[in-house]
A and B are shown apart, each in its own frame.
Chain A
Amino acid sequence: MPEKAIVPAHRRLLGAIPAICLLLVLLPIVAGCSSPSAAPAAQAETVTAAQSTVTVLPAATAPAAGETATTVTEPLTDTATVTSTVADETPAPRFTPTGPPPSDPLDVLNIFGIVTPGNLAVKRDILPLDGNNPPNVLVTIAGARLGVSTPLTTENTSALGVMTYDPVFREWNLSWQSDPISGTARPLAASNQFGGTNGGDLLRDGSPILELRTTTLDGMAHLQLLRYDRNTHKAIPLKMVPSTGAPEKDALFDGELDVTVADLDDDGIYEVVADNVSGVQAWRWDGSRYIPRETR
C-alpha cells in the first residue's frame, strides 16, 4: 500500500504551481535569461554568440554581464502579461562580444526572451519589416493561462511584438510591442507564405500592415490592424469607421464568427471582411481609414 494518499497528478501539481511560478519568475534571473519555458533547458549554459550558433541562447534580450537592465512588464490583463526587457536609458558600459559574428543572426534568435512567464508565443514570423537584413521577427503573443490564477473561463489577452537584431551586441531585442487586446490570438500566415497576409503591403503604399486576430470566450472574432513605420520602428493602429455615421476609431474590427482581410476588388488593396450570423460586413480603405462598404 502506498504510504501517501494518491491524488490525481494534475491536482497535486496544482498545489505546486505557486512554487513553480516563483521558480519561473526567479529562473530568468538565475539563468541569466527571461525565458519561461522548458525549452530553455540549454539556456542555463552561458554561451556567447561568438562561440556557437545555437538557436536558443540564454540572453537574447537578457542583460549582458555587468549591465543593468530593467524588466518592463506591461499587463495585458489581470491574468496575462507581455514582458519586454529593454535597456536603461543610461546603461552601464556593456561588454561587446568578440570573435566572428554568427553566420546567420537567426541562429541566435530566442523568442523566449520576450515571451515571459504566463505568456505563450502563438506565432513567430521572419519578415523584413524594416527593410533591413537580417529581417525582423514578428511575434504574436497570448496569455498562456498556465497558472491556477488564470482559470480557463477567464478572458485572455494578446499582443504583437517586433524583434530587431543588434549587430553590435549580437542579440535580438524587442523593439516594439503593441497594446494588448482581448482574446486569445490566432496564428495568421505571414505575407511571405502562400496566401498569407500578415506583415504584407496590404494597402499598397509600401508599409507593412500587422494583423492581430483574436477570439474571445464569447466566440467573437477581433482583428486589429497596425501600420509599421520603418523610420520609427513602431506600429500604430490604422483608423476605421465602424459603421456609417459612427465616429472614427482605431482599427479594431469585430465579427460574430470571423474577421479577416481579403482583396475583394483585385486592386491590391485589402478589404476587411467580418462574417456575422446574419450576413457579411466589409470595410474598404479610403486612403486614410477603413470605411463600411457594400458587400452585395
Chain B
Amino acid sequence: MATRDKRSRAAAVPPTRKPTTAASRVAPQAASAPPRASADGKTAGLNLPIDSHRAIASVALVMLILLTLLAPMSVATPNRAAFLTPRIDGSGSVGVGFNATGIERTVFPYLTFIERQQGNLSSTWPDIYGVINNDPSSVEAQRAIIGQIFGSTSGINVRVRDSGLESNPDPAKLSGVTFSYQQMTDTDTRENLGINGLGIVDLIHALTAPDRQEQQALERDAIVAFQTAASNDAKTWQYSYNWAIANFLVGNYTAAYEGMRAAETNTETADFHLIPVWMGLAALRNGEPDEAIKQFNRVIDFKLAAGSDENVRNSFEEARGLAQEALGDAQWARRDPATAYKTYQDTLQFGRSSAGLYRKWLRLGLQQRGYEQLLDDMNMLLGQGLATDLQGRIHHDRARLLSFMGRGDAAMSEYKQALVINQNDPPLLISYGQALLSSGDYNGALAQAEDVIRQLGKDPSAGDMATVANTVITSTSSLGLLEAGQELLDAQLLRAAAWSKQNSSQSMAAIDSLVSNITGSAAGQPTHVVGLLNLYGGNAYEMAATAASGDRASDLYGKAAEVYKQAWAALKDLPKGASGRAAALSSLARTTALTKGKSAQDGLTVLKDGGYDPAAISPEVSTDSDAPDILYAGALLLEQAGQQKEAVNAYRVSGVVRNLRDAESLTGVGRPLWMGNGTSVPAEAALQTGDAARKEPGVNPGMVVMRYKQAFALDSALAPAWNNLGVWYAQNGKPDVAKSYLSLSAAASPNYALGNHNLATEAYKSGIGNFLTAEKAQGDAIKASGPQDLRWGYNLRYDEAGPLPAPSGPQSDFLARLAALLILGLLLAHTLVGNDRLTNRMGLIPTRGVLGKLAGMLDVRVREAMPALVTPGSSSRSLLVAIGVPALIGMLGLAWGAGHGSFEVALLFLPVAFIVSALAFGANELAQRMSARRHKATTLHHLWPMGVLLGIVSIPFGFVYGWQNVTRLQVTGEHAQTEANRGGTGSRRSRTTEELDLEQEAHAEAIADSGDLVTVPVTGSLSVGGTGSLNLSPSARIIFAGMIANLLLGAVFAVIYWLTGWPTMRLGLFASMLVLAFTSVSEPPADGWTLYRRNAPLWLAVFVLASTVATLLALGLI
C-alpha cells in the first residue's frame, strides 16, 4: 500500500541515515529539503549498512523472537508435596480434602494469633458468629450455640456467655453452680430457673463428654429440662427459646424452627431480632434456603426506631450482622454461590471483617476454582483497612496460593510482606520454609524449621511430640494448643524433607534420629499416645521419602511402613473413629505398596488384614467412622493394582459413607442427606465418586449423572461437578442438556476458566445461533485466567485437576509459538534492508530486502500472466479487489487460527474472520482514499502478488500476512494521464521545483513498485512541506492515515476485548495489528517505507508497537 505523492523525497531519507553510495551523495537537493536531513549523509553519525532506525527495529524483532522462544507461556504444575502435611489427629493423610473446609485447611492451614486464642475452652465464650463459622459438630460451634442460651443463677435474662460461667469451668465451680440450680428446683418461685440451669449444666458437660453416647444422653436431658421449664412457665419466652436452641445444637432443626416461632409470638421478644435469625439458620440447616433468606432479610431490612435503647440497638446490630453473613450461607446453599461470594466479600469490605468470614469466603473461592480472581480479590481486601492480623494472614495466604499455582517469585514477594507484619509467627515461618524447600533452598528451609521449633519452646535437637499427642486425645484441649502442636509437627516434617533433599549420610542419619526421638518418647504413655507418636514418626519418614527418589525413596517408604505398623498395632483396638486410627492403617498400606520389592497388592493385603478389604467391603462400614478414609486409600491402591472395577466401587462406598457419617455427626436428626445446608459437607467426595464412575467401562450413564448431581446438590459451588456432568452429557449425545449444565457451571463460578471454556466449546459447536453465548463464555474464561485458555482448543475437557489450586490454562508447546515466529521472521526479512540510494540521474533508488527481491521476480511473471490482477485502478472495482482478495485470504487464516485446531469451530468463525479481515484491510485503504480526497487526489489500487502468496502461506499458521496490495496516489482530474503513464511511457510536464521533485519521487516509487522506470505526472495541487507536530507532508499524512485507521480500529477492538474478553474482538485486534505491522515495514514500496523516510522515529514507534502486539497476540499472551 505504498502511496505515490509525487513529491521529492531526496530530503526524506531519515536524518540519522548516511547514504552509502556515491550516487546518493550527488543526488539533487530539492528546494524543499528539510535542513535536518542531507542527502550526502553528513549529518549521519554512523556509516552502517542499514539505517539505525531499521537496526533498532531489527534488534526489537530479534528480542521478540527470543521472547517467543524462551518466554514461559504456561506454568508447570509445581511440586506441592512440601506444602501438604497431615493433621496431628491423622486427618488429611489420605486425601487432601473431601469438603470445602478440608480443602481450605489444606491450602491455608494456619490460623492467625487471634484466631488461635479464640478457641481456648477456658477463656471467654465465642461470639455468636461461631455458630455459622464452624462445623456444626465442632466444639467451637457448640460452644457458640450454648453461649446463647439464657439463664444464670441470678436470673433468666442473662445469656450463658455473659453469666461469668466458663465453657470448661473448674469442676468445683461447676459443682457449686449445679448445687445452686438444684436448690432452686426446690423453691416455688425459682424452680423453673433451676431446671433451666440444670439443662445448661448438662450441655456444658456434653461439650467434654468422653463418648458420643454420653454426649447424646446429656443433650437429651438438657432438652427435657428446657422443655419442662417451658411447659411450667409458658409466659417466660426464654425457656421456649432455650429449648429451640438446644434442639438446634443437636440437629433437630424443624423443632428448633418451630420452637423459635413459638418464642416469637411472645410480645416481649419484639425487640429481640435474633429469633428470626435462628429461624433462618434452622431452616437453612434443614435444607430450606428460601425460607432462610426470607428470615434473614426480615432482619436485614428492619428499620430500628431512632430512639431505641442502646441494649436494643446492640442486640439488633448483632442480629443484623449475623443475618448478613448467614445470608451468604443461604445463597450458597440455594445454588447461587456467585452471589454468596459477593455477599461475603461485601461484608468483609464494608461490614464486619472477621477471620471466620474470611475463611468461609476463601472456602467458597476454592470450591469455585476461580483462583485468579481469588488472588485479585485477596489483594483488593488488603487495601480495605482490615485488622493488621488479618492483613498478615492475607499476605500469607496469597503466598501459599501463589506457591500452589507455581508462581514462586510472586509467592516469595508475598511471604516477605507477610514477614514484615509477623516476622516471628511460627505458621508463617513454616510456610516460608516450605516455599524455600520447594524452590531448592534446603538449608534455608531447615533454618526456618528449626527457628519454628525454638519459637514453640522446643529443643530442635530433640523430637518430643508426646505433648502434642496428649493434646490430641484430650477433649478439652484449646485450639491454641492444637494449633501449636500442628506447627511443631509441620516443622519436624519440614526438617525431614529438607534433610532428605540434602541427601548426605549425615542428613539421613538426622532423619533416623528425628524419628527415633519422636517414637522414643512413647514410653509410659497411654496406648493412644503411643499410636499417635508412631504415626508422627511414620509421617516423618514418609515426608522424607516423598522428597527423595529411586531406591532411597523406596528405603524410606519401607522405614515409614515399619513405624506405621507400630502405630496401627497400638491404635487398631481403639474405638472406630479414634484419632489416628484410620490414618495409621491407610498410611501403612500406602507406604507398604511403595516399599522396595512390594506392590499395590501388598498394600491391599495390609488393608484386608486390618479388617478393611476394599475389594470385598463389609456392610458394617456404614456405621464406621474410619471406613471412608481407609476405603479411599484402598481405592487408590486398587487403581494402582489395575482393579478398576473394584476401585470404582470402593470410591463409591467411601463417598457415600463419608456423607452418611457427616450427616449423622450430630446426636439429633441432622441435615438432609444430599443437600447443601450452609455447612461444609463432603461434596468433593461425591465428585470423586462421579469421576470414578464415569471411568468404569459400561457404566449406566444415569448412575454417573446421579453422582454428579449429588455432588453439586451438596455444594453448589463445586464448579467441576457441574462441568463434568455437562461434558458427560455432551459425550453421551445430549448436547442441549450438556449446554445447560455447562451454563450452570459458569453461573456457579463465573471465574471458572475450564467451565466457561467448555461452555464456549459446546456453544460454538452448536452452530451460529449460539455464537454469542459462546463468545461470552469464552470471554469470561479469558478474563478469568487469560487467553492461554484458548490453547485448550475446542474439545470438551473434564476437570481432573483435583481440589488443590494449580496453574491456570493448558501447557504450551513449540507449535503454539510457530505462528509468532513466522510473523517475526517475515517482519525481520522486511526490515533487514540496505539503505536506499540517491542518484543524480534517477533520484532515489530504493533498496530491496530478500522478500523484495523475490517479489520483483514474482511480480514480473504475474504481470505477464495475469496483468489485470496487478493493474492499478481507481475504480470501486479496483478498490474492492484490493480489499476483497486479502480479506478472503485473511478470513481463512484467521478463522483457522480462531478454531484452534477445530475445523468445526473454524468454519463457524469464517464470517467473523472475513469481517475483521475486511475491516483491517479496508480501514487502511479507505482511510488513505478519504485522506487523498481531502487533498484533491485519488488512489489507485492493485494486488501485490508476493503479498498474496505470503498471505496464502500464512493460512495454515493461523494468521494473515497483512501487506497484500499496493495503493498509489494520483491527483484528481489526471486519471487518464496517470493511466497512460502507469506503464512507464507517460510524458512529463515541467512544473515548479516542487513538481520536479515530485516527479523524482514518482520515479523512485514507481521503481519501488514495479522495478521499471515510471514517471507519474502530478499537478501542483498537493501542498508541500512538512506540517503539524509530526512534521508530515500531505502525502505522508495520507499514508499515515491508513496506519492511524488500523491503530484506531485496533484500539476499538482492544477496548472491547479488554471489557468482554470476546475472541472475536481479539481476532479483530489481531487482524488490525497484522495489517498495521506488515504495511508499516520499511521495505519499499510499503506504506512504512514512505513514513520511514519522512519521520523515522515515528515509523519506528508504529512498527515496533504493531509488531509487539501482533506477536503477543500470536503467542496467546494477551
Select from chain B the residue with minimum beta-carbon distance to A45: B234
Select from chain B the residue with minimum beta-carbon distance to A6: B175
In the complex where A36-B227, A152-B213, A277-B619 touch, is A186 in contact with B673 (Cβ < 8 A)?
yes
Residues of B within 8 A of A87 (CB): none
Do the beta carbons of A262 and B709 come within 8 Å of each other? yes
Q: Chain B 266-310 against A: per-residue CB contact (8 Å), 1 yes, 0 no?
A: 100000000000000000001111100000000000000000000
Within 8 A of B (CB), among A8-47: 8-10, 12-14, 16-17, 20, 23-24, 27, 31, 36-45
Do the beta carbons of B702 and A37 come within 8 Å of each other? no
Q: Which of B199, B231, B288, B649 has the most CB of A within 10 A?
A: B231
State in angstroms the CA–CA spacing of A120 and B673 once bound together.
18
Residues of B within 8 A of A277 (CB): 617-619, 621-622, 653
Residues of B within 8 A of A2 (CB): 175-176, 179
Contact of A10 among B176, B218, B244 (CB under 8 A): B218
State in angstroms the CA–CA spacing of A13 and B206 once bound together.
14
Do the beta carbons of A9 and B202 come within 8 Å of each other? yes
Contact of B675 among A20, A38, A195, A265 (CB under 8 A): A195
| Residue B687 lies at the interface, judged by CB distance under 8 Å to chain A | no
Do the beta carbons of B237 and A42 come within 8 Å of each other? yes
State in angstroms the CA–CA spacing of A43 and B179 once bound together.
31
State in angstroms the CA–CA spacing of A276 and B649 once bound together.
10
Q: Chain B 608-651 against A: per-residue CB contact (8 Å), 1 yes, 0 no?
A: 00000000111111110000000000000000000000000100
In the complex where A123-B254, A187-B286 touch, is A42 in contact with B703 (Cβ < 8 A)?
no
Residues of B within 8 A of A42 (CB): 234, 237, 240, 262-263, 265-266
| Residue A116 lies at the interface, judged by CB distance under 8 Å to chain B | no
Q: Which of B217, B234, B239 has the most CB of A within 10 A?
A: B234
B277 to chain A, nearest CB (A): 16
State in angstroms the CA–CA spacing of A220 and B235 once bound together.
43
A60 to chain B, nearest CB (A): 11
| Residue A93 lies at the interface, judged by CB distance under 8 Å to chain B | no
State in angstroms the CA–CA spacing of A266 and B728 once bound together.
14
Do the beta carbons of B623 and A278 come within 8 Å of each other? no
B999 to chain A, nearest CB (A): 79
Contact of A120 among B252, B290, B619 (CB under 8 A): B252
Residues of B within 8 A of A69 (CB): none
How many chain A residues touch B (CB < 8 A): the figure is 79
| Residue A219 lies at the interface, judged by CB distance under 8 Å to chain B | yes
| Residue A193 lies at the interface, judged by CB distance under 8 Å to chain B | yes
In the complex where A31-B234, A41-B234 touch, is A194 in contact with B179 (Cβ < 8 A)?
no
Q: Chain A 116-149 against B: per-residue CB contact (8 Å), 1 yes, 0 no?
A: 0000111110000000000000000010011000
Q: Chain B 177-189 against A: per-residue CB contact (8 Å), 1 yes, 0 no?
A: 0110111000000
State in angstroms the CA–CA spacing of A221 and B230 once bound together.
35
| Residue B1018 lies at the interface, judged by CB distance under 8 Å to chain A | no
Do the beta carbons of B674 and A195 come within 8 Å of each other? yes
Do the beta carbons of A27 and B702 come within 8 Å of each other? no
State in angstroms the CA–CA spacing of A282 and B702 once bound together.
11
Do the beta carbons of A39 and B240 come within 8 Å of each other? yes
Select from chain B the residue with minimum beta-carbon distance to A280: B703
Do the beta carbons of B258 and A121 come within 8 Å of each other? yes
Do the beta carbons of B703 and A295 come within 8 Å of each other? yes
In the complex where A56-B261, A56-B265 touch, is A41 in contact with B236 (Cβ < 8 A)?
yes
Do the beta carbons of A41 and B652 come within 8 Å of each other? no
Residues of B within 8 A of A10 (CB): 202, 205, 217-218, 220-222
| Residue A92 lies at the interface, judged by CB distance under 8 Å to chain B | no
| Residue B698 lies at the interface, judged by CB distance under 8 Å to chain A | yes
Residues of A within 8 A of B216 (CB): 152
Residues of B within 8 A of A215 (CB): 660, 664
Residues of A within 8 A of B656 (CB): 257-258, 275
**How many A-B pairs with Cβ below 8 Å?**
251
Do the beta carbons of B674 and A44 come within 8 Å of each other? no
Do the beta carbons of A37 and B259 come within 8 Å of each other? yes
In the complex where A10-B222, A196-B287, A257-B622 touch, is A271 in contact with B202 (Cβ < 8 A)?
no
Contact of A9 among B221, B261, B262, B734 (CB under 8 A): B221
In the complex where A55-B262, A122-B669 touch, is A146 in contact with B224 (Cβ < 8 A)?
yes
Contact of B182 among A12, A43, A146, A187 (CB under 8 A): A12
State in angstroms the CA–CA spacing of A43 and B235 once bound together.
9
B866 to chain A, nearest CB (A): 60
State in angstroms the CA–CA spacing of A220 and B706 once bound together.
20
| Residue A89 lies at the interface, judged by CB distance under 8 Å to chain B | no
In the complex where A38-B230, A112-B258 touch, is A296 in contact with B175 (Cβ < 8 A)?
no
Contact of A294 among B229, B232, B700 (CB under 8 A): B700
State in angstroms the CA–CA spacing of A63 and B783 once bound together.
65
B235 to chain A, nearest CB (A): 7
A32 to chain B, nearest CB (A): 11
Residues of A within 8 A of B222 (CB): 10
| Residue A247 lies at the interface, judged by CB distance under 8 Å to chain B | no
| Residue A184 lies at the interface, judged by CB distance under 8 Å to chain B | yes
| Residue B201 lies at the interface, judged by CB distance under 8 Å to chain A | yes
| Residue A256 lies at the interface, judged by CB distance under 8 Å to chain B | yes
| Residue A225 lies at the interface, judged by CB distance under 8 Å to chain B | no
A23 to chain B, nearest CB (A): 6
Do the beta carbons of B703 and A120 come within 8 Å of each other? no
Do the beta carbons of A40 and B231 come within 8 Å of each other? yes
State in angstroms the CA–CA spacing of A219 and B290 once bound together.
31
State in angstroms the CA–CA spacing of A2 and B221 once bound together.
23
A-B contact pairs, 12 of them (CB 8 A): A38-B227, A39-B244, A39-B261, A41-B235, A55-B261, A56-B262, A111-B254, A186-B672, A194-B716, A263-B702, A264-B702, A275-B653
Residue numbers of B with Cβ under 8 A of A are 175-176, 178-179, 181-183, 198-199, 201-202, 205, 213, 216-218, 220-237, 239-240, 242-244, 252-255, 257-266, 286-290, 334-335, 616-623, 649, 652-653, 656-657, 660, 663-664, 668-675, 698-703, 705-706, 709, 713, 716, 734, 737
Which 10 pairs across A and B sit closest by C-beta, in order of nearness? A264-B702, A38-B230, A38-B243, A219-B622, A44-B234, A39-B259, A10-B221, A41-B240, A39-B262, A54-B265
In the complex, besides A188-B673, A264-B702, A295-B700, 19 extra interface pairs with C-beta distance below 8 angstroms are A9-B199, A9-B202, A12-B198, A23-B232, A37-B227, A37-B243, A41-B231, A56-B265, A120-B255, A186-B672, A187-B286, A187-B672, A189-B675, A195-B674, A195-B675, A195-B709, A264-B700, A266-B705, A280-B652
